[in-house]
């Protein structure tokens, strides 16, 4: 009789222990970690729509050499079938240089010219265009536009302000009669290089750090 009573007490104690251990499943460390990760994601700062600071990596080797500030780089041999649209402009900082990229819709590239100018001007009014920095690197894209046929802009912003060693600001000074012009304010008249990339179609301008 005593032996049976002891057995019942032991079984009851064992059952209580197992039930208590089973309750710890609600505090599974994996579930806690997942919840923490979800919280971190939901409370992160929202992405900005300002097209700045997105560094554009090099697409392979074989880039051209930097040219002296007095040079004029360009290609007037291009003959697009239509009028290429500029759909994105961005500036990024890279090791040794800053970069501005002009991306076009589809695969057509317009004739272009890049050079330093003493005083950039608005192509419509002729009024001076003020940009940060002490150098004005002007990028002309002929037979191009930065708006739809209905007149809606195809880029997010016509002004990009940064604080990089070479580039400090980019301003669109013209989108009129198939001419798109941007002026890049630089920290002095610095060496630059220009080249094109495909997939997507891009005109790329690098300015060497001082």
Band of pLDDT at residue 57, cut at 50, 70 and 90? low
> What predicted TM-score, i.e. pTM, was given to this entire model?
0.73
In the numeric block, which tokens belong to residue 55? 């560094």
Distance of CA 133 to the CA centre of its chain: 21
pLDDT in tens, 148-162: 999 999 999 999 999
Residue 131 reports pLDDT greater than 50: yes
Contact 146, 172 (CB under 8 A): yes
pLDDT at position 113: 98
Band of pLDDT at residue 62, cut at 50, 70 and 90? confident
Residue 138 CA: distances (Å) to CA of 6, 20, 67, 107: 95, 75, 15, 23
Contact 56, 196 (CB under 8 A): no
Contact 39, 177 (CB under 8 A): no
Q: 3-class SS at 170?
A: strand
Residue 2 reports pLDDT greater than 50: no
Distance of CA 84 to the CA centre of its chain: 21
* CATH number attached to the domain at 73-208: 2.60.40.3500
In the numeric block, which tokens belong to residue 121? 């001007």
Residue 32 reports pLDDT greater than 80: no
């Amino acid at each position: 009789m005593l032996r049976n009573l002891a057995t019942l007490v032991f079984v009851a104690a064992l059952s209580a222990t197992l039930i208590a251990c089973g309750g710890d499943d609600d505090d599974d460390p994996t579930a806690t970690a997942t919840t923490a990760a979800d919280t971190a994601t939901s409370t992160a700062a929202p992405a900005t729509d300002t097209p700045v600071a997105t560094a554009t990596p090099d697409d392979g080797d074989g880039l051209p050499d930097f040219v002296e500030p007095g040079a004029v780089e360009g290609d007037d041999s291009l003959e697009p079938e239509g009028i290429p649209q500029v759909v994105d402009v961005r500036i990024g900082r890279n090791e040794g240089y800053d970069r501005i990229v002009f991306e076009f819709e589809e695969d057509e590239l317009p004739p272009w010219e890049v050079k330093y100018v003493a005083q950039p001007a608005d192509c419509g009014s002729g009024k001076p265009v003020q940009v940060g920095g002490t150098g004005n690197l002007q990028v002309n894209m002929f037979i191009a536009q930065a708006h739809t046929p209905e007149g809606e802009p195809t880029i997010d912003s016509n002004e990009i302000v940064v604080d990089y060693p070479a580039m400090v600001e980019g301003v669109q000074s013209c989108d009129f009669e198939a001419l798109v012009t941007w002026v890049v304010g630089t920290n002095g008249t610095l060496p630059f290089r220009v080249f094109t990339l495909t997939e997507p179609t891009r005109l790329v301008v690098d300015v060497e750090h001082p």
